[in-house]
Structure 1
Amino acid sequence: MYELFVLGELMTGEKHGYMLQEILKNAAGPGRQISSGTLYPLLSRLVDSGLILLRHEEESEGGRLRKVYALTEAGRARFHELMVEPIESHADSERLVNFKMVYFQYVTKDVRLACLKQYLAHLQAIRTYVKNFEAQLLKHRPEPAMQRVQLLRVFDHRLHVGEADISWVTQEIKRIEGEE
């Protein structure tokens, strides 16, 4: 996922490592921060694999060298591979879709639609799972009753959030399908 982010950000132009880290901190949200210990080894691997280039630029203050990264043609191709990769159902699916959506301007309409349709299927599968679990809970009525009631409230919340997500993604699919 972070590989997609780095390559996607470099689609917009050269960036230094600190700038990439700051953008990712904002994109990932307050609960998910990327450390230098994660980002810089990733950047090194991308340089070593020929997906990005590294050049040194002298900073105006302090005379230190700043590492500036740029995308190669191989990196551009890898970015497109990552954008068309299917979205698997896991805990980070939503974050991955959000990252992909940021870079939709760099891919075709078909790729955007495939991504959103995969995410819609993921959301619908979660809704089905929650409804089935809820039905089992109502049928078997496990004890303690207070915990069961609270769990049903959690399911109700998850269903409401899921319905809102499904509605938004469905509308976005229709909007993109209507584009020329």
Structure 2
Amino acid sequence: MYDLFVLGELMAEDKHGYVLQERLQYAVGPNRKISAGTLYPLLTRFEENGWITQSEQNEGGRARKSYRLTELGRERFHTLIVSPIENHTDAELTFQFRLAYLHFVPKEARIACLRQYIQYLRNNLRYVNSLSEMIASKKIDDKQLYQVMRMLDHRKHMILADIEWVEKEADRIETAKEGME
């Protein structure tokens, strides 16, 4: 997941490690901490795989490393952005990263990515619906049952809202004139 973010950031321009760490922290939000111990091993692996190169520049008497995407890194980025979304706890954040960098891939890939996420959401909706039916048939204290059903109802509404938004976005891209999407 962080691979996609870092490669996506480098698709636009070269960046220092500090800038990448800061932007990644903004992207994941306040409930996760992105440390140098998370980012720099990732950058080292990227270099070992030939996805990025680094250069050192002196800025104000201080050496700073800047990272640049290679052609192999661009290929890796394209592979990551169109690969299937796996059912894991970070699927939504992975989609958010993809959404931020969709403009770097062709129209067909953008639409495919969005349609794939819609399918992921529909699978989650089916699961929540089946869970609601199963729980409703169990003998549970009425107050607890009420609260659990409210929680599942909330999840359903969130998923339905996501599906609606992503479908509109896919339709918008599909119907937009080339270069305007």
- Give the TM-score normalised by the residue count of structure 1: 0.94
| CA drift at 1:144 | 2.3
Any residues of structure 2 matched to 1:8-27 within 5 Å, and which?
A: 8-27=8-27
Secondary structure of the structure 1 residue equivalent to 2:88: coil
How many residues are matched? 177
Q: Please list every run of 5 or more consecutive structure 1 residues that lacks an aligned counterpart in the other structure.
A: none
Tell me, in whole angstroms, the C-alpha distance in 2 between the residues paired with 1:57 and 1:148: 61
Task: Deviation per CA, 1:91-140: give whole Å up to 9, x if none.
Answer: 11111111011111110111111111111011111111111111122223
Q: Which letter does structure 2 place at the counterpart of 1:145?
A: D
Equivalent in the alignment of 2:133: 135
Counterpart among 139, 150, 153 of residue 156 in structure 1: 153
Q: CA RMSD in A?
A: 1.1
Q: Which letter does structure 2 place at the counterpart of 1:75?
A: G
Identity value in percent: 48
Counterpart among 59, 65, 68 of residue 63 in structure 2: 65
Tell me, in whole angstroms, the C-alpha distance in 2 between the residues paired with 1:78 and 1:162: 30
Tell me, in whole angstroms, the C-alpha distance in 2 between the residues paired with 1:147 and 1:42: 44
Equivalent in the alignment of 1:28: 28
Tell me, in whole angstroms, the C-alpha distance in 1 between the residues paired with 2:149 and 2:75: 46
| CA drift at 1:143 | 2.2
| CA drift at 1:176 | 1.0
Secondary structure of the structure 1 residue equivalent to 2:64: strand
Residue 174 (structure 2) pairs with residue 177 (structure 1): yes
| CA drift at 1:75 | 0.8
Tell me, in whole angstroms, the C-alpha distance in 2 between the residues paired with 1:58 and 1:20: 18
| CA drift at 1:172 | 0.8
Tell me, in whole angstroms, the C-alpha distance in 1 between the residues paired with 2:102 and 2:33: 23
Counterpart among 165, 168, 171 of residue 168 in structure 1: 165
Tell me, in whole angstroms, the C-alpha distance in 2 between the residues paired with 1:94 and 1:110: 21
Tell me, in whole angstroms, the C-alpha distance in 2 between the residues paired with 1:109 and 1:77: 17
Q: Which letter does structure 1 place at the counterpart of 2:84?
A: P
Equivalent in the alignment of 2:94: 96
Counterpart among 121, 124, 144 of residue 122 in structure 2: 124
| CA drift at 1:152 | 0.5
Secondary structure of the structure 2 residue equivalent to 1:103: helix
Tell me, in whole angstroms, the C-alpha distance in 1 between the residues paired with 2:87 and 2:118: 11
Q: Please list every run of 5 or more consecutive structure 2 residues that lacks an aligned counterpart in the other structure.
A: none
Tell me, in whole angstroms, the C-alpha distance in 2 between the residues paired with 1:32 and 1:175: 32
Secondary structure of the structure 2 residue equivalent to 1:148: helix
Equivalent in the alignment of 1:45: 45
Any residues of structure 2 matched to 1:74-85 within 5 Å, and which?
A: 74-85=72-83
| CA drift at 1:30 | 1.3
Secondary structure of the structure 1 residue equivalent to 2:40: helix
Equivalent in the alignment of 1:115: 113
